[in-house]
A = this chain, B = another copy of it.
């Protein structure tokens, strides 16, 4: 891979003009933004405020934070751009607008989102979720219905599956979400008060079997196009023209996989945000966060029910739909559970907890919920019941006090 594909800030303006995304005579500034673990993101801001500013996301052939010593296929930018195109097709309201995709430089240009805030940051600062969870549930519901056996023909699904195989990023998920947190791995860390609980989780054979089932489903359940990394760092929120806006970003982990993965990651992070609120004494806000778990699930189900009368396979019946939604809830709880465990016992912790004066009590509840949900997914009942999950979280917090 030649280094020539890498875009440098000094080149970005001319690059956008050459792609006909900016007028040749426009003037303005470029700055590099983003916490850039993997990729580079540049903003181009025209002096003329009538010209919309643009964001360019570019994947160097390595992990940006680590540099050329950590090679990583730049194809991920094209996977992300392709996923954004599909998301925009079915969930345009929640998807950033992509204006241009450049396969030769593994870059794409999209609307500038720098007026919005990362959801996790907003929640840490005390924001409420409002309709955010419902918007996320609707996006997941609309995209997964449209790309499932109910919404897409075998031909369309075959093309989607072939285009979306994403083994490099799948390995990242298998390691950091579905692997390391459950064993003694190099970069794991946890709060000192959690030692015994982490040990007990890692020794529990039931945890191992459930984890294995989730790993296998991740690798072999090609239900629908999923975002693959849908935590509260992949959602941006804000207000435009007086209206709340929600954008789901960064689908570079996108793949055809289990639907419960996206819902589980998102819901786990709502639970974590709620526990942060409880830990700071903001009990009402915590309860309000938890109430949105049902908003998310209900919007997801509503999107499936909306699509259902137009399903491409008339031999899928209502009984199957009920069963599929129930199975998805079960998977949701499973992937939520591993996300809860990862955020307190793995490598990548949640700032929601880490920035608390004492992350101990909330982290202990997060870990214990993860353990419980993993080994007994019927702890919230045998049918999808997001309100029961919310109650389990709040009673677990109270019991801890």
Contacts and interface: CB of A to CB of B under 8 A. Distances in A.
Interface of A: 148-150, 153-155, 157-159, 161-162, 165-168, 170-171, 174, 178-179, 182-183, 205-206, 208-209, 211-213, 215-216, 219-224, 313, 315-317, 319-320, 323-324
Contact of A209 (B159, B166, B323): B323
Total copies of the chain: 2
B165 A158 contact: yes
B158 A319 contact: no
Most B-side CB within 10 Å, residue of A149, A213, A216: A216
A170 B154 CA distance: 7
Contact of A179 (B209, B315, B317): B315
29 contacts: A149-B215, A149-B219, A150-B216, A154-B167, A154-B171, A154-B219, A155-B168, A157-B220, A158-B167, A158-B170, A161-B222, A178-B315, A179-B315, A182-B315, A183-B315, A205-B319, A208-B317, A209-B317, A209-B319, A209-B320, A212-B316, A212-B319, A213-B320, A213-B323, A216-B316, A216-B320, A216-B324, A220-B221, A221-B221
Given A215-B315, A319-B205, A220 B148 contact: yes
A193 B214 CA distance: 47
A240 B153 CA distance: 45
Nearest to A173: B154
Contact of A316 (B215, B224, B317): B215
A165 B167 contact: no
Nearest to A166: B158
Contacts of A165: 158-159, 161-162
Nearest to A258: B220
A71 to B, nearest CB: 14
Q: Which of A182, A206, A212, A313: most chain B Cβ within 10 A?
A: A212
Given A208-B317, A209-B319, 16 more contacts: A149-B219, A149-B220, A154-B174, A155-B171, A157-B220, A158-B166, A158-B167, A178-B315, A179-B315, A182-B315, A183-B315, A205-B319, A209-B317, A212-B320, A213-B323, A216-B316
A31 to B, nearest CB: 36
Which of A155, A161, A211 neighbours the largest number of chain B CB atoms within 10 Å of its CB?
Answer: A161
A342 to B, nearest CB: 14
Interface centre among A174, A222, A324 (most CB of B within 10 A): A222
B205 A317 contact: yes
A205 B154 CA distance: 24
A183 B167 CA distance: 40
A217 to B, nearest CB: 9
A101 B153 CA distance: 30
A14 B170 CA distance: 48
A158 B255 CA distance: 11
A209 B148 CA distance: 17
Closest 9 CB pairs of A and B: A209-B319, A212-B320, A158-B165, A158-B167, A149-B219, A154-B167, A155-B167, A162-B162, A212-B316
A215 B311 CA distance: 14
